[in-house]
Amino acid sequence: MVIRKYDRETLIKFYREMKRVREFEEKACELFAQGMIEYNIHTCIGQEATAVGGCQALEKSDLIICTHRGHGQCLAKGGDPGIMMAELFGRETGYCRGRGGSMHIASIDVGILGANGIVGAGIPIAVGSALATNILKTTEITLAFFGDGASNTGEFHEALNMASAWNLPVVFFCENNKYAVSVDIERVIKVKDIAERAKAYGIPGVVVDGCDVLAVYETTKKAVERAREGQGPTLIEAKTYRYHGHFEGEPQVYRTEEEMSEWKKRDAIKRLYKEIIEAGFASAEDLADIDREVKEEMEEAALFAKNSPWPTENEALMYVYSNDNERSVAR
């Protein structure tokens, strides 16, 4: 059993991190339904293993670029759920002081270079970060999360081409959740796997089961080590599935109940739960304790957001420019 390679602490951490992502998202959905969060949220329920497996393979000093479905990625990289939730609420205490919202969380302190509302746009930004690592002769690697939809953008191809031509320390991490909003990826690409596209750029392309956090972790670890040793980028394609609509309340006319329940049978959290217990690393009670702690943590996060102040109108024009802001926004 693969799980035997791991120690208890690591496995519990993986479990806890995945639960945190799920619980954060479920809390966010609940708050959204209550009207506490405006506009919309794109949840990653079902995709916990990609966010957690991917980020656990990174050092603290490494950097990530997130997607519009990026809450899990931010949490897994070390984002604080309260500050994240406050950003979802549009409060001054949020990571971006409420200027960005759900799709745009950035926290430079924990290595989140930002999520992007433009599908595919984060990929070359990650390459730019990797270019800086090389020029500045530092050691951080940059991992770009993106979805199957983004792999059809020009930016994906331009970025992979330059990153591979210049041998940059970057990991391209595709969360293939099968749908770009409503369009089944199989209807809009000819190749069987997105990972095959790596061939065009002379870099390794790896497919991994995105519902198996340990497999995701190991695959990413290998890509990270490769990048850190100066061997250049890797394209990882993790096959995963989102349980909710593209955004909350989206009617999901493009998929069937059968398909959804098939994927839910492969749920990454349930899978790890079962494996941990079967291998004797922890008891059901131990894991129930974690579940309870995580639930409390997210309750507190929600409370922090609810009790946080709104940004004030007299600060609406702040942060547009770093030099000469007042004059530059005046006319």
Partner 1 sequence: MRQLTYSKAISEALREEMLRNEAVIVMGEDMGVMGSVFGITRGFMEEFGADRVIDTPISENGFTSIAVGAAMRGLRPVVEIMYVDFTTVCYDAIANQAAKMRYMTGGQLTIPVVIRAPGGAGRRNAGQHSQSLEAIFTHIPGLKVIAPSTPYDAKGLLKSAIRDDDPVVCVEHKLLYAGKGEVPEEEYLIELGKADVKRAGEDVTIIAWSRQVLSALDAADQLAKEGINAEVVDLRSLVPLDFETISNSVIKTHRAVVVHEAVKRGGYGGEIAAQISEELFDYLDAPVKRVAGLNVIPPFSPALEDYIYPHSSDIVAAVKELLL
Residues near partner 1 (CB under 8 A): 65, 94-100, 104, 106-108, 113-114, 116-118, 121, 124-136, 142, 154-155, 158-159, 161-162, 165, 318-324, 327-331
Nearest to 52 by CA among 175, 234, 201, 235: 175
**Between 39 and 321, whose beta carbon lies closer to partner 1?**
321
Tell me how far, at minimum, the Cβ of 308 lies from partner 1, in Å.
13
The beta-carbon contacts of 220-226 under 8 Å, at least 24 apart in sequence, are: 220/53, 220/54, 220/56, 220/57, 220/58, 220/143, 220/171, 220/173, 221/57, 223/57, 223/171, 224/57, 224/58, 224/62, 224/141, 224/143, 224/171
**Between 40 and 252, whose beta carbon lies closer to partner 1?**
40
Tell me how far, at minimum, the Cβ of 98 lies from partner 1, in Å.
7
**Between 47 and 116, whose beta carbon lies closer to partner 1?**
116
Helical packing angle, 268-278 and 284-306, nearest 10°: 140
Ranges of H-type helices in 106-212: 122-136, 154-165, 185-188
Tell me how far, at minimum, the Cβ of 41 lies from partner 1, in Å.
17
**Between 14 and 89, whose beta carbon lies closer to partner 1?**
89
Tell me how far, at minimum, the Cβ of 62 lies from partner 1, in Å.
12
Query: 3-class SS at 232?
Result: coil
**Between 3 and 108, whose beta carbon lies closer to partner 1?**
108
Instruction: Locate 290 and state its tokens.
Output: 């974690």
**Between 260 and 318, whose beta carbon lies closer to partner 1?**
318
Tell me how far, at minimum, the Cβ of 91 lies from partner 1, in Å.
11
Tell me how far, at minimum, the Cβ of 327 lies from partner 1, in Å.
5
| Cα Rg of the chain, angstroms | 20
**Between 93 and 177, whose beta carbon lies closer to partner 1?**
93
Report phi then psi at 245, rounded to 5.
-70, 175
Query: Concatenated DSSP letters for 46-74?
Result: T-HHHHHHHHHTS-TT-EEEE-TT-HHHH
CA 268/CA 125 separation, integer angstroms:
30
Tell me how far, at minimum, the Cβ of 114 lies from partner 1, in Å.
6
Tell me how far, at minimum, the Cβ of 14 lies from partner 1, in Å.
29
Tell me how far, at minimum, the Cβ of 162 lies from partner 1, in Å.
6
**Between 113 and 238, whose beta carbon lies closer to partner 1?**
113
**Between 162 and 301, whose beta carbon lies closer to partner 1?**
162
Question: Are the C-beta atoms of residues 318 and 324 closer than 8 Å to each other?
Answer: no
Question: Are the C-beta atoms of residues 169 and 227 closer than 8 Å to each other?
Answer: yes
Residue 104 CB partners (closer than 8 Å, separation 6+)? 87, 96, 114, 115, 116, 117
